[in-house]
Structure 1
Amino acid sequence: MIVETAGVLFRWEARRDDWYFVPLSSEASEDIRDVPRPGRGFGSVPVQVTVGSSSWRTSIFPDAARGVYVLPLKRSVREREGISEGDTVKARLDVLDG
C-alpha cells in the first residue's frame, strides 16, 4: 500500500531527547488501520518513506492524542531536506507487511 500525506512537523520532548514527528492525515491513518497485520511493539507499522530526495525504512506509530499515526523524522533527514519544526512535510510511505 502506497500512501501520500502531508503534516506539520512537531517536537515531542522525551526524558532526555527531543523527537520530531509528522502526523499522517486522518484519511491515510484510517487506510493503514484498515489493513490487518500482525501486532508489533507500540502498535508500530513498518514503512519505506520518501521525503524530498531522502528515502529510508522506519516505523510509524499510533498517537492516541491525535488519533492518527505519526512518522518519526530523524535529524539527518531534517538537515538534508532543510526541514524545521513547524514546517509542512510531504511524505510518501510504502506500508510494508512486516
Structure 2
Amino acid sequence: MELEFSGEVFAWRGPAPHHFVAVPADEAAALDDARRAVTYGWGMVPVTVGLGDTAWTTSLWPKDGGYVVPLKAAVRRAEGVELGDVVTLRLTVAL
C-alpha cells in the first residue's frame, strides 16, 4: 500500500519531545484497513516514509482516532524542515 499526502510539521512536548505530521482522515481510514494485518501492537503501523530525497523506516503512532508520522531529527536536518513547514510525505506499508 502506498499513500502520499501533505501536512504541517508540529511538535509534541511530552516526556519524549518529537516532531510529527498528522495523516489526513481519508488516508488514516485506508491505514485502518491495513493495520490489522501489519501492526505489532498498540496500534503501531510499520511504514517506510519518504520526504524529499530521504527515506526511512518508522511506525505510525495512533492518535485521536488517526495516525501521526514521527519525523526524525536527522531527516528534518537533511531536508531543511522546520516546525510549521508543510511537507509532502510518501508512505509505504508492506502488506
Is the structural similarity TM-score above 0.5? yes
Shift of 1:62: 1.1
For residue 84 of structure 2, what is the aligned residue in structure 1?
A: 86
Is there any run of 5+ residues in structure 2 with no aligned partner, and where?
Answer: none
Q: Which amino acid is 2:48 matched to?
A: Q
Verify: 1:56 aligned to 2:56, yes or no: yes
8 Å CA contact 1:44, 1:59 repeated in 2 = yes
Measure, in 2, the Cα distance between the counterparts of 1:52 and 1:95.
18
TM-score by length of 2: 0.90
Measure, in 1, the Cα distance between the counterparts of 2:94 and 2:71.
18
Shift of 1:42: 2.3
Equivalent residues in 2 for 1:12-27, closer than 5 Å: 12-15=12-15, 17-27=16-26
Moved over 4 A (4+): none
Is there any run of 5+ residues in structure 1 with no aligned partner, and where?
Answer: none
Distance 1:38 1:50, change over 3 A: closer
After superposition, the CA RMSD in angstroms is 1.3
Measure, in 2, the Cα distance between the counterparts of 1:68 and 1:55.
22
Provide the aligned length of Structure 1 versus Structure 2.
94
Q: Percent identity?
A: 37
8 Å CA contact 2:38, 2:46 repeated in 1 = no
8 Å CA contact 2:38, 2:45 repeated in 1 = no
Shift of 1:27: 0.7
Q: Secondary structure at the match of 1:84?
A: coil
8 Å CA contact 2:2, 2:91 repeated in 1 = yes
TM-score by length of 1: 0.88
Cα deviations by residue, 1:32-84 (Å, 9 ceiling, x for unpaired): 102231542321001011100000111101111xx321000000000110111
